[in-house]
Amino acid sequence: MKSLTVQAGDDRYDVLVASLEDCRSRLRDHARGRPLTLVTDEHVWSLHGERVSAVIPCEPLFVPRGEDAKDFAHLQLLLTAFAERNLDRSTAVAALGGGAVGDLTGLAAGLFKRGLRVVHLPSTLLAQADSAVGGKTAIDFLGQKNLVGMFHQPALVIADVSLLETLDDRQLRAGYAEIVKYGGIGHETLFEWLEDHGAALLAGNREYREEAVWQSVAAKARMVEADVTDRSGVRALLNFGHTFAHAIESAAGLGQVLHGEAVSVGMVLAMTLSAELEFCSHQDSARLRRHLADSGLPTTLAETGVDRSQLLPLMRTDKKNEGAALRLVLSRGIGDAFLSDGVEEATLGDFLARAD
Ligand SMILES: NC(=O)c1ccc[n+]([C@@H]2O[C@H](COP(=O)([O-])OP(=O)(O)OC[C@H]3O[C@@H](n4cnc5c(N)ncnc54)[C@H](O)[C@@H]3O)[C@@H](O)[C@H]2O)c1
Ligand SMILES: O=C(O)C(=O)C[C@@H](O)[C@H](O)[C@H](O)COP(=O)(O)O
Ligand SMILES: [Zn+2]
């Protein structure tokens, strides 16, 4: 078992990369003798419900698969169920699933009685490496990604990579994009390691999956601790590729292009723009693109099928922006991302019009 503690302001919690069975007593501490209210989708439950129930008695609540869960209707559904069960602040609710289940459950938990504890049991590569840690919760609104949300840190995160054995190839690769992000923003050695071991990781190597989840979570924890509520600019680097990605997801129709796929294209766009603006070399930009493409991820706008004229207006609504300036995460090279307010809208518009 690998374990790290995140100190996010006043909130302190453990992230365990371990089997669910090895965490039985930790889970039971959070349930306090009652069945654990566990939010999931029927697909994940059909695959893993029996195993999870053998570790901890659960009362499941079902939401749709993927991005469709992240809306007001399902937020209301969870809040209603929490009220019907009269959950109180001494017990936790759990989220078993991908980032969508985690984002929705985290928000419902944060709102109900002004804060229930939430335990994340991430079951996708993306959720294990990224979304279960750090306390960002959200639903989509008015066609825009994560427009309504809050920070609500978990009480415990357990990443059991054996859950990933049932994940389909497309979802697996999408999650891998966020791991590449960690190398891209601050850890060139991780990026090199992924160049060497990424193919085996994607093919199913359990040791490499654990290592990549661990490295990503450790990197994220440090950035979250330094900037819990995304104010100082440190945490904003976790948004590398995301200004483009969220616009791509919205323009495609939410749920059509997977978040990780959009992040893959978004990181290539951010790096290509950085190279054009002479912040980084064209070799580094090509290196990032090559590794993502070799990993079976999309790297061009053309592959997403979006109408590129929709992107700039969507990018203007990004949460990082203050006033008129567009705030982008750019790069000085692999492992060296930075936040920029300096890209003119006309420059970005021209870039988007002719990008691959
Ligand atoms: N809060 C954050 O910090 C953060 C970070 C990154 C992404 N996100 C959000 O996370 C979402 C994307 O999450 P995601 O990539 O995990 O996908 P997802 O949650 O949208 O969908 C996961 C899909 O995989 C299936 N699935 C889940 N676990 C499985 C398993 N073990 N075996 C088989 N099938 C399984 C689910 O049924 C579902 O269809 C986006 O909404 C994104 O905005 C949030
Ligand atoms: O935890 C963070 O901070 C991140 O930015 C992680 C991202 O991978 C994630 O997609 C996040 O949900 C994006 O947040 P948003 O603030 O851009 O909606
Ligand atoms: Zn993301």
Give the DSSP per-residue string, 304-345: HT--GGGHHHHHTT-TT-BTTB--EEEESSTT-EEEES---H
Q: How confident is the model over 108-150, as pLDDT tens digits?
A: 999 999 999 999 999 999 999 999 999 999 999 999 999 999 9
Please indicate, yes or no, whether residues 333 and 250 belong to a single structural domain of this protein.
yes
Q: What tokens appear for 30 in the block?
A: 């959070």
Q: Same domain for 150 and 190?
A: no
Q: What is the CATH number of the domain that holds 176?
A: 1.20.1090.10
Give pLDDT tens digits for 256-315. Answer: 999 999 999 999 999 999 999 999 999 999 999 999 999 999 999 999 999 999 999 999
Residues 86 and 18 in one domain: yes
Does the pLDDT value for residue 323 go beyond 90?
Answer: no
Mutate to test the pocket of ligand 2, among 242, 248, 259 (most ligand atoms within 8 A of CB): 242
Q: From 138, 166, 194, give the residue that closes a domain.
A: 166
* pLDDT band of 48, cuts 50, 70, 90: very high
Q: Quote the percentage of the chain above a pLDDT of 70.
A: 100
Instruction: Clarify whether residues 142 and 95 are in a common domain.
Output: yes
Q: What is the mean pLDDT of residues 24-46?
A: 96
Pocket (CB within 6 angstroms of ligand 1): 41, 43-44, 47, 65-67, 70, 97-101, 103, 123-124, 126-127, 130-131, 134, 136, 145-146, 163-164, 166-167, 171, 174-175, 259-260
Task: Indicate the number of domains in the chain.
Answer: 2
For residue 325, is pLDDT > 90?
no
- 314 Cα–ligand 3 center, Å: 17
Residue 324 pLDDT level (bands cut at 50, 70, 90): confident
> Tell me, what's the pLDDT at 56?
97
- pLDDT per residue over 94-105, tens digit each? 999 999 999 999
Looking at residue 210, its pLDDT comes to 98
Ligand 3 center to 317 CA (angstroms): 17
209 Cα: distance to centroid of ligand 1 (angstroms):
16
Q: Which of 121, 144, 115 is nearest to 133 (CA)?
A: 121
**Helical segments of the chain, H only:** 24-31, 42-55, 72-84, 99-111, 125-126, 169-186, 188-203, 206-226, 242-252, 259-276, 282-294, 301-304, 311-315, 345-354
pTM of the full predicted structure? 0.98
Pocket test for ligand 2, best of 239, 319, 320 (most atoms within 8 A of CB): 239
Kindly state whether residues 160 and 181 are assigned to the same domain.
no
Summarize pLDDT for 147-203 with one digit per residue, the tens.
Answer: 999 999 999 999 999 999 999 999 999 999 999 999 999 999 999 999 999 999 999
67 CB within 6 A, ligand 2: no
User: Minimum-distance ligand to the CA of 103?
Assistant: 1
Give the pLDDT band of residue 91 (cuts 50, 70, 90): confident
Decide: 239 in ligand 2 pocket, CB within 6 A.
yes
Q: Are residues 145 and 178 in the same domain?
A: no
The share of the chain scoring above pLDDT 90, in percent, equals: 98
Of 120, 148, 166, at which residue does a domain stop? Answer: 166
Tell whether 162 and 260 lie within a shared domain. no
> 119 with 188, same domain?
no
Return mean pLDDT, the chain. Answer: 97
Residue with the nearest Cα to atom 30 of ligand 1?
A: 167
Q: At which of 112, 141, 166 does a domain end?
A: 166
Alpha helices by DSSP H, 112-168: 125-126
Same domain, 159 and 306: no
292 is in which domain, residue-wise? 169-354
47: pLDDT strictly greater than 90: yes
CATH of the domain at 131: 3.40.50.1970
CA of 53 to the centre of ligand 2 (A): 31
Distances (CA, A) of 191 to 107, 240, 279, 288: 32, 14, 19, 9
72 and 102 in a single domain? The answer is: yes
Helix (H, G, I), strand (E, B) or coil at 155: coil
For residues 98 and 208, state if they share a domain. no
